[in-house]
Structure 1
Amino acid sequence: MVTKQEDADLRRADSLAREIFSDVANKWALLIIEALGEGTLRFSELRNQVQGVSHKMLTQNLRMLERNGLVDRRVYPTVPPRVEYRLTEAGEGLRATVDGMCVWTHQFFGHIETARRRFDENGG
């Protein structure tokens, strides 16, 4: 039986924390969280915000984020049904981390670009 402490240990292969980390640490989830940080969006609006995501990948990631309690899905009884997505409190907390990653990316973009070019030129 896995204990609470073991369940929260990212280094353990069988930990819930690692499963959660794996879920949210993918490019589509991070981009969805960033887009929803601007406010509530419908599926089509979200798909337009997250350029390059397929209908299938957006659906899968939204379901995963909803399952993990990071996104709230609200369906309105209209014809056709109107569905909106927004971040939950936990999702907003994760957005702060995503925002930090965005700041880091902008700060070190030139450094990483130079390192990649050097690596590729030297036969990586």
Structure 2
Amino acid sequence: MKTMTKKISRKTPPSQSAQMVETIYGCKWSLTVYKLLAEGINRPGEMVRNVEGLTTKVLNQCLKRNTEFGILERISYNEVPPRVEYEVTELGAKFLKILDGLEALQFEIEQQQPDTNNE
């Protein structure tokens, strides 16, 4: 009697990257921070001044979370007064491409849905 061997094992979701996406989309300011960085605004004080409703406390939490994930890098300069800047890491650039893909997918989904506003 021949025994059949299974060729494919159960596929499991990518837990760390899925958690990153969930956490980043759960933070209402992360996407705004990425946009600021893309526009060359990389200092926290400048970020707070450029976004209505963004507080220093919330921004610091957002920046810390993104730094812990490895999406952003914190650069401290040994100056008086102290200067801190943030930049997107190599991993962060890859992650932002994924977020861009999700945004494009969302746009496509919205385009396929019937317009319910005219009814």
**TM-score normalised by L of structure 1:** 0.64
Which has the higher relative contact order, 1 or 2, with Cα contacts under 8 A spaced 6 or more apart? Answer: 1
Q: 4+ runs of 1 displaced by more than 6 Å? A: none
Deviation of 1:102 after TM superposition, in Å, equals 7.6
More helix by share: 1
Gaps of 5+ in 1: 119-124
CA RMSD of aligned residues (A): 3.2
Distance 1:49 1:102 in 2: 26
Specify every segment of 5 or more residues in structure 2 that has no aligned partner in the other structure, as ranges: 1-10
Distance 1:57 1:20, change over 3 A: same
Q: Is the 8 A contact 1:71 1:86 kept in 2?
A: yes
Q: 1:51 maps to which residue?
A: 52
- Which residue does 2:34 correspond to in 1? 33
Whole-angstrom distance in 1 between the partners of 2:46 and 2:104 = 21
- Rate the CA distance shift 1:103–1:52 in 2: closer, same or farther, 3 A: farther
Percent identity at matched positions?
29
- Change in Cα spacing, 1:51 to 1:61, as seen in structure 2 (3 Å) is same
Contact 1:29–1:61 (CA under 8 A) maintained in structure 2 = yes
Paired residue total: 105
